[in-house]
Structure formats: structure tokens, C-alpha cells
Structure 1
Amino acid sequence: MVDADASTDLHFRSDGLPLEGAGSKAPATSAARCLTGSAALSAYSEFCAKALFAPPQAPRWVEAWARNCNEDVVVVSWEGDAGSIAIPLEIVREGVFRIARFPGGSHANGNFPARRGESGFELDPGFRASMAAALRDVRPDIDLVLLERQVAAFEGVANPLATLASWQSPNPALAVDLAGGFDAVLERASAKRKRKKHRSQIRKFEAAGGFKRIRATDRAETDALLEAFYAMKATRFATNGIQDVFADRTVRDFFRDLFGSACEADAKPDFFLHGLEIGGKLRAVTGCSLTPSSVICEFGSIAEDELASTSPGEFLFFENIREACNDGIAFYDFSVGDETYKRLWCDIETRHFDVAIPLGAKGRLAIGLRQATNSAKRLIKSNEVAWKLVKRLRRATAGKDKGM
């Protein structure tokens, strides 16, 4: 998720750990609290009724993840004179470490903790230690709190956790500024080429049996679009030698629950799906979330078939962005990840940040390992030749696996 007003003035120590109290001015007056079980989810939902939060911190997301993927969820809360926050955390095991993170893992991007209060309120200087103590009291088995892929600001409001930033996330987030409407967006992004290609695609789609853009409006439609998406993504990941993060049945059930419940609950759902049907078959699917100012593309894929060369995914993005402009949305956000199809549209690039809070010696070791991994990723992805080589090796490995 990208905010055009996001501050990049984050605070880091040379060893990658948070600067204690960086950017904070308020005296330490409040202690963090930690709730567990169903009481935690109930209290969190009540807090969010009057709070600002990013889509992956929405009660609908957190509760659906707890129902389908991991019921081991706690909520850390803190209240100061000028504002308060609540942070849902799922507890997972990674190797020998037990980690508390935002529910959803790698599916949760553009994170922003639920917060109330004044726009610029700051956490107490002792918040980091207070949060660690609150978690240790109820869950002494946790080694590390790892809050990844956070935005520095959301809807023009600063992220209170930005002063605790440990390091920059390795992948950029890309978005399109929709100011001026769709024609203005096209003029800033190779309008002549895009319009010409769009007309050519329409002719090809008509010749293939006609096309239809679909928006899911009930559970049956969300289930159908998601099933098509899972099949598309599995093929695409396998072709490129990438682990399928949607392969787990519980993750698939989570997204069915999330998007299905959203379209049933609201006339203007905060999570919704689009599909492009050509010749009676789904060829492209996108899943998005909605904020007051942004449409965020959480995921998307295309069918690897005889029409893949016509770029049905690009066609669907063209129509999705046009619709967002017509609806008065300020930004179309492609979320985390640097891909060519995103660069064809995007004029905003930001970096997310991660917060790491060790709860003991094992947690400090986990931070060191995480830093080394992130540094390697940044180094490879910042080198165009190295990144192309990694992708080529993935595809080659995938091809060998198929032949065995």
C-alpha cells in the first residue's frame, strides 16, 4: 500500500535495531496490555469501530484468518493522552523460533496498526519495552515480534510504529496517482500505446468468442473467481519455480471467507474480485481491497493458455484503473513487488519498513538471521543482471522438476 504523503524519515541504528524513543517526545506514562483468545478478537473489533487501519488489520481480515488459518491470535493495545493503538498478532513457528506477526504473514502488505486519536500522536519512549513485557506475561514462549511491510503513513496519517522502524523492507510498493481522471493517467503513462493495444485486444477477444468483465457480488461468484485464480497462480508459480503461497487449503479457505463475507455484508465491499472472461472462460482475475482513497490490488493472475499472449491481465488492469478513476478514487495501488506490468502504469514508489522486537536471546539471533536475508534480497534485486539470473535459474529448476 502506498500513501503519497508517506514520510521516509525513519529511524535506524547501525545494527538494524530500533532507536529507543526515536522521534518520541511524550513522557513514558502508559503500559501496553495484551489480550488472548476470543476476548481479544471481540475487543479488537470494538476498538476498530472508531479507528483507522489498513485492510490487513481490518477485523474482517483478522477474524477470517483466525477462523481458517491460525486461531493463536493475541492483541496488544496501548493508550496515551493523545491517542491509542491496537495490534493484532498471530503466533507462528519459523524453524526453532516462535514469532508474533501481523495475521496473514506474506499475504498482509501495506500494514498499518489500528489507531485512534490525534493525527500526529506519538508513542511513549518506553512503548517497545512495555509491549515486550506485556507479551512475555501472557506468552513467554514468543521469541520475536516481527511487524513487516508497514507503511509510514495511511490516509495521510502517520504510523505510530514508524519511530520503532528497524530496517527497510526489501521490496518496493508501486502505485498510480489517479489525479485528473483516466485520460490524465493515460497521458502520464504512454497513452497512445495503451489505447492502441486496448483496441487491438478487444478485436482479438471478440474473435475468440467475445469477452465480459465480471465483478463478484455473492459467495458463489467469489468462489468461482477464486478457484480460477488458484489454478492460474499454481501454473504460473510452477512455471517460474516459485513456491505457491496460495497452495495451502487453509489459505484458500481464508480468502473465500474474506471476499465472500465482504460482498454479502456491504453494497460497497472493502474486499472484492474482478474477472475477465473471454470465449466463456476466465482468463484473468484480480483481488482488491478498498480504502477511503485507494483501490489496492492484493493479488492477480492470468491463465497460461492460447490467449495469454494477448495480455488479458493488462486489459483487466486498464478497466480496473478506469473504474477507480470514475469512482473518484485517488490512487490505484499495486502493493508490494516490482514487476514490469506495474511499471507500465505506476508513478509512485515507496518503501515499507519492518519493526523487530526481540523478547530474549533467541529473538536477537532471529533478528540477525532476518537482517542477513533481507540484505541479500536487496542486493540481488537492486542488481538487474543478478535478479534476471535468479529468475532464469528458478525457471530452469522448475523445468527439470517437471521432467523428473
Structure 2
Amino acid sequence: MTLSNQPERVSPAGVSGENSLSVDVCDADAVALQRYREDCAEAGFMPAQSPDWVSAWTRHAPHPSIIVRLCDGQAHLMSLALEVVEQGRFRIARFISNRHANGNFPALDLRVRDGLPETYLTKLRDGIRQARPEIDALVLERQLRQCNGQENPLLGWPHGDSPNVSLAVNLDGGFDAVLARSSGKRKRKQHRSQARKLEAAGKVERRLARSRAEAEEMLNAFFDMKAHRFSQMGIQDVFAPDAVKNAFRTLFGDAAETKETNFVLHGLEVAGKLRAVTGSSRIGDRLICEFSSIADDDLTDASPGRFLFYQNIEEACSEGLKIYDFSVGDEYYKRLWCDVETIQFDTFVPLTGKGRILAFGLSAAARAKHVINNDPRLWRVAKALRRRLGSAHG
């Protein structure tokens, strides 16, 4: 990171140096959310820190939410939308929506290209500590190192690799080029075979949610599919809480009634029933699959999920997008397409003495998970143990 010219690059005319820095930490009320939206008009960010996402989650989340704003004079530099939660005997601040937030990147003013000086981050940390002394640590996971040419300033804090890889597809050259790079002949043949199997059951239609009612229908189908799938795998259903469901209903319901939106739901309907659903966000030239699932029924063997992904990727290419992002998680169906791997990073910043203990433990746990996830033998053992534990508590 080059710091010598940084104050000039991030400060407006007539303002320079650290003495002009200020940190504002406030509850995410209507006034703060409106200011956050205005700041984001001249900032880069990823979907889970976008104004629409933040607004939907703060409306329904059971945890108090805060907006942290770093300014140079009157000029906005960076904001973080966080939720404050109890974690055992500790109180932490984390990205709003927790595990549903992936590829995180703060709302960063477009003038800030190469990160921020260490002294700016010290000011940010101390400002949060002074305003909210009850918070023991900042737990900021699954972050991108760069976003649309901007370096993530939080790389200036101690950090480590996230345990799980993020997978994506390079769409350069269009759909034919994508297929040429990923066993295209086989994919086309499989897609035609899947189409015949699905059409034998009835009318096949790929749907886009264009109203709140359609969004509700697709989300309800998705929640049911996911609950069944997680139960089979012995995994906690992270979509089960009402707060999570209602936040996504607000986010995608509002989006479905907006002409130009960054959040879309697609469903594959066969014989009048939804068999696969994807929820996606769009940022710049990137389409991100935030979640997906398939129905467990008589057509599961026809792979409706893979069929829908094929069409989603084909459409993304036709719209001139550059990346189709499957987000965090290493799955076989993603590997069939992906040629881009991204290792995100986690930041654990202690704010109190207790927080130092927590940050050390979280860092050690993340390193251990990274080792397990990257060792096929250990990962098989971990998945088997997870299923057994899930069955025991089921």
C-alpha cells in the first residue's frame, strides 16, 4: 500500500491531514439510512452493503444495527453497516445479515482507490470504541480484497484468509466462449437431455419475479426446498428465522416492483410447479447467485437446478455481463462452470480486553477451518460428523 500521496487522493479541496478526520457511529434509523443511501450514490460497495439490502435487513433484524461513517472534513470516505449481537459472553459488531452476506466490501467513496493510511483505520477503530464501549470486537468476515478497481481499506487491519473459496465464471467472449472453456459439447448435450426429461412431465418455463406476489411465491418455494435439503444434510437451516425470511421478502419484493433493480429471482417451473429457484444480485458487470435450491421430487434426477443455472449464465452473457458469481462455497455443480477462484478475507479487530481473547480464538478457528476445507479427507470426515450431529439433534 502506498501512503505518501494518500491524503491528497481521499481529501476534498481545502481539507487534508488526519486532524480533519471524524467518525460518526449512530443507530441505523431512518435519518442514518437516508444519509447512507446518499453516501452510496458516490461510493463503491457490494450487494450486502448496498442501501436496499441494508434497509431491508435493518427493518426486520432482531439485533440493533449501526452505521459507522468515516469522514475527512465534510466529505464521506467510508461507511460500514453493522449489526451488534451477543456471542456467548461477548458482544460483537458484524456485517448486517451475517452468514447471508458474502463478498463483503464497505461503502467506499469512489475517490478512494488504494486503501487508507493506517492512521485513518486507527481513528476508525478508536471512534467505534469510544462511541460503543460495550462492543468487544469487530468480526468482519468474507470480504473482497478489491471491488471494481478499489482496494478494500480494511486490509490495513490484521486479517487472514476466509475458510471457504468463492467461485465464479468468466463470461468474456460470450456464451459460446464460456462453453468452449468448460466442456461445452457435453454441457449442450446434457442441457438438451434435461429439457426432454422436463418437457415430458409438462410445460417448462423459466420465470422472472415481476411482482411482489411472484417474489413471495418463489421465496416460499425456496424456503421449503432449503429447509428440506438442510434437514437431509443435518445442517442448521440459516433461512429458517422469520427475520431472515422477512428481510428477503422485503428486499426481493421491493425489487420485483422496481423497473431497474439489482436483485432478481428466477424460478424454473415444470408442470405448474417450481422445481428450482435462484436469488441473484447485480453489481456493475457482475451477477451474483446469492442463494439457490431445488425441489426433492420426481424430477430431481433431471437436474432442474443445473438446467436453470445454464439458462441464467446464458442470459448473463447475452446482457454483456463479465462475471457470473456463484459466491462462497465449493460445490460440484459450481466447479462444472467455474474458472475463477477468489479467496476472501476475515478481519477480527478487538476493542476491549475481552475482545482480544475472542479475536484470537476466531482467528485460530478460521485457520483450522481453512485447513479442513482444503483437505479432501478431513472435509469428508467433517461432513460425516456434521450429519451425525444434525441427526442426533433432529
TM-score scaled by length of structure 1: 0.90
**What is the distance in 1 between the residues matched to 2:391 and 2:278?**
27
Paired residues for 1:125-204 under 5 Å = 125-204=118-197
What is aligned with 1:376?
Answer: 368
- How far apart, CA to CA, are the structure 2 residues paired with 1:378 and 1:280? 42
Mark the CA change 1:79 to 1:340 in structure 2 (over 3 Å): closer, same or farther: same
SS in 1 for 2:118: coil
Q: Is the 8 A contact 1:229 1:285 kept in 2?
A: yes
Distance 2:95 2:28 in 1: 16
Q: Indicate the larger mover: 366-375 or 232-241.
A: 366-375
1:93 is matched with which residue?
86
Identify the residue that residue 243 of structure 1 maps to in structure 2: 236
Alpha-carbon distance in 2 for matches of 1:120, 1:316: 37
Q: Distance in 2 between matches of 1:186 and 1:73?
A: 43
What is the aligned counterpart of 1:312 among 304, 312, 315? 304
CA contact (8 A) 2:69 2:76 kept: no
Q: CA deviation at 1:122?
A: 3.2
Aligned-partner Cα distance in 1 for 2:336–2:189: 14
Partners of 1:258 and 1:83 in 2: how far apart? 26
For residue 127 of structure 1, report the CA deviation from its aligned partner. Answer: 2.6
Report matched runs for 1:11-90 at 5 Å: 24-25=3-4, 26=6, 28-29=18-19, 30-38=21-29, 39-70=31-62, 72-80=64-72, 84-90=77-83
Deviation at 1:398, TM superposition (A): 4.4
Structure 1 residue runs of 5 or longer lacking an equivalent are 1-21
1:397 deviation in Å? 4.6
1:361–1:349 CA distance, 2 compared to 1 (3 A): same
What corresponds to 1:6 in structure 2?
Answer: none
1:357 partner amino acid: V
- Matched residue SS, 2:44: coil
Task: Give the Cα separation in 1 of the matches to 2:255 and 2:202.
Answer: 32
Structure 2 contact 137–351 (Cα < 8 Å) conserved = yes
SS at match of 1:168: strand
Q: Which residue pairs with 1:14 in the alignment?
A: none
Amino acid corresponding to residue 66 of structure 2 in structure 1: V
Tell me which of 210, 213, 221 is aligned to 1:217.
Answer: 210
Q: Quick check: 2:212–2:257 contact (8 Å CA) kept in 1?
A: yes
- SS in structure 1 at match of 2:93: strand
CA contact (8 A) 2:28 2:58 kept: no
Partner of 1:283: 275
Written as runs of structure 1 = structure 2, the 5 A alignment for 1:340-355 is 340-355=332-347
What SS is found at the alignment partner of 2:268?
Answer: strand
Look up the SS of the partner of 1:354 in the other structure.
strand
Distance 1:112 1:156 in 2: 12
**Secondary structure, counterpart of 2:324 in structure 1:** strand
Give the 3-state SS of the residue equivalent to 1:32 in structure 2: strand
CA distance in 1, matches of 2:331, 2:62: 30
Alignment of 1:377-396 (within 5 A): 377-396=369-388
Secondary structure, in 3 states, of the residue corresponding to 1:365?
A: helix
Q: Choose 312-321 or 152-161, whichever is displaced more.
A: 152-161
TM-score, structure 2 as length reference: 0.92
Q: 8 Å contact 1:218–1:260 — kept in the other structure?
A: yes
